[in-house]
Amino acid sequence: MGLLDEFKLEGKVAVVTGSGQGIGRGIAWGLAEAGCNVAVNARRQEDLQETAKGIEERGRDAFIFAADIRDRSDELADLTVDTFGKVDIWVNNVGGSNEKKTRKLIDTPDEVFRDQIELNLTTAFQGAKASAKRMGEGGSIINISSGAGMRGSPFTGPYAAAKAGMLNMTETLAIELAPKIRVNAVSPGPVVTEMFAEVLGADGAEEEIAASIPLGFLGAPKDIASAVVFLSSPAARWVTGRNLLVAGGRTHRSYQYQSKLEE
């Protein structure tokens, strides 16, 4: 087998939560292009149909699970096995925020903090448990974290705390599940998605953020998909417990656009 063959995922079965739009959709399409049949999950059926269409256009089969994934990872895992016969790759991508308002951490209501932990961390914990029970030798779990989880993150504290917890959980799972299953994380920097545009608005914010990135431009979902495909593949067979920051060289938070986040 040549080196490039090590990046292929022919015959594998992947699950991608939160794959109705944006980064999750890009990951699902990337895994399909690499050879996977893919089970996709999000709350909106119409979004998932678009994701599934892209999977099928890439010559692979898709299974749609339209539901809030909280407390339903076991159900998704069982349905995936029933449909495709196995689970090889599980990507915990669901997350974000149900709130569009930003605030200081000490001004955050308890229920908002709990909701962020549940959506961004507990779902990954549940997904890891559900997939690990059903994976064979060589399985791969990938947690989509965030650069916000690697440092202090003013005005997005609950989200950042959840993502920091995800990074610690990734290392713990990697140790506990080795050598059978590899567990890694990918932390995207600023990636242009529907949610990104909704939170920051237009008004030149994208240009300001791009100026803080050494490579000079914002990321796209395919940039994250490429990292996930690598970490899922035999090419990464000696990589576990690691977090791959995909952010154009940006290693610290730029405060040039902080006023945008506060609005």
pLDDT by residue (tens digit) across 148-199?
Answer: 899 988 999 999 999 999 999 999 999 999 999 999 999 999 898 876 666 5
Catalytic residues: 159
How far is C-alpha 45 from the geometric centre of its chain's CA atoms? 19
Q: Which residues of the chain have pLDDT under 50?
A: 202, 253-263
**For residue 56, what are its two tokens?**
């099928």
pTM of the model: 0.92
Residues 6+ apart with CB under 8 A from 1: none
- 150: part of which helix (H) or strand (E)? none
259 class by beta-carbon count within 10 Å (0-12 exposed, 13-18 middle, 19+ buried)? exposed
| The pLDDT value given to residue 259 | 35
**For residue 223, what are its two tokens?**
């940039």
| The pLDDT value given to residue 252 | 57
| The pLDDT value given to residue 203 | 54
User: Burial letters for 3-25: b for 16+ Cβ neighbours within 10 Å, e otherwise?
Assistant: eeeebbbeebbbbbbbbbbbbbb
Q: What's the number of CA atoms in the CB half-sphere (13 Å) around residue 212?
A: 16
For CA atoms 121, 122, 128, 131, give the dihedral sign: negative
| The pLDDT value given to residue 198 | 61
**Fold of the domain spanning 4-262:** Rossmann fold (3.40.50)
89-92, strands of its sheet edge to edge: 62-66, 37-42, 13-16, 89-92, 139-144, 181-188, 243-246
The domain limits of the chain are 4-262
**Is cis: bond before 158, omega within 30 of 0?**
no
| The pLDDT value given to residue 261 | 39
